[in-house]
Amino acid sequence: MTTRAEQMAKTHQAILDTARTLFLKNGYDATSTRDIANAIGITQPALYHHFKDKEVIFLAVITTVGAEIRAGIEAIQARTDWSPLEQLTEVSLLLTHKHPADVFTLIHSSFKALTHEHIRELGGVFATDYVQPIQTVFEQPAMNLQSGVTPQMATNFYITSLSPLFNSFHRIGDPHADERTRVQTLLKMILYGVASESEN
């Protein structure tokens, strides 16, 4: 027989799992606590017994996903037999598989609805679990960044250039190519540019 404590823990986890699916697919604004409660089959008051409000649930979801992203990037970077392009390919696939929609838009678009305290916390998660691990990939000597380009600059450019991977509206490369090929097409443009400098 299930105890009350076990049932409470099960409901708590169900809220987080369901909220994760809805937030990552639809975004913060388009997901309500009613949506989450209805998807689980509980009342909103029952949901609020576990979490104070939607912001707290969202922060818990992004914190969980962020930790998974950080661990994944660290594992990828440990593969010293992979080239920088191969490592970035795996990082990009990790991001798109964990986030059905553009992760960076998801996080930053939520800021307008959050308290200052939660914005700081979410900004910290983004910096620690996304930006810093990605920057370590660009800090490797094998990356061979152009003169004047810092790992921080490269990281910011990479992050803001990923949107074609999260939607089909302006997808880059052959639409019939497999996912890895499409990812590498975009990454080669990010890493090596779209044109050669004129020698004149």
**48-63 per-position pLDDT tens digit:** 999 999 999 999 999 9
DSSP of 53-103: SHHHHHHHHHHHHHHHHHHHHHHHHT-TTS-HHHHHHHHHHHHHHH-SS-H
Tell me which CATH code domain 53-192 carries: 1.10.357
Residue 168 has pLDDT above 70, yes or no: no
CA gap 146, 151 in Å, rounded: 10
> Which residue intervals of the chain bear CATH 1.10.10.60?
1-51
> Which residue intervals of the chain bear CATH 1.10.357?
53-192
Please compute the mean of the pLDDT values over residues 147-166 and round it to a whole number: 92
The tokens for 199 are 């020698």
The CATH class given to the 1-51 domain equals mainly alpha
CA torsion angle 172 176 178 184 (round to 10): -20
Q: Closest by alpha carbon to 39, among 16, 59, 55, 62?
A: 16
Please compute the mean of the pLDDT values over residues 15-34 and round it to a whole number: 96
Please compute the mean of the pLDDT values over residues 76-82 and round it to a whole number: 92
E strands, the chain, in order: none
**pLDDT at 169 (0 to 100):** 62
Please compute the mean of the pLDDT values over residues 18-28 and round it to a whole number: 95
| Residue appearing with tokens 């920057």 | 135
- pLDDT tens digits, one per residue of 111-132: 999 999 999 999 999 999 999 9
The tokens for 171 are 């997808």
Residue 171 has pLDDT above 80, yes or no: no
The answer to whether 21 touches 100, Cβ cutoff 8 Å, is no
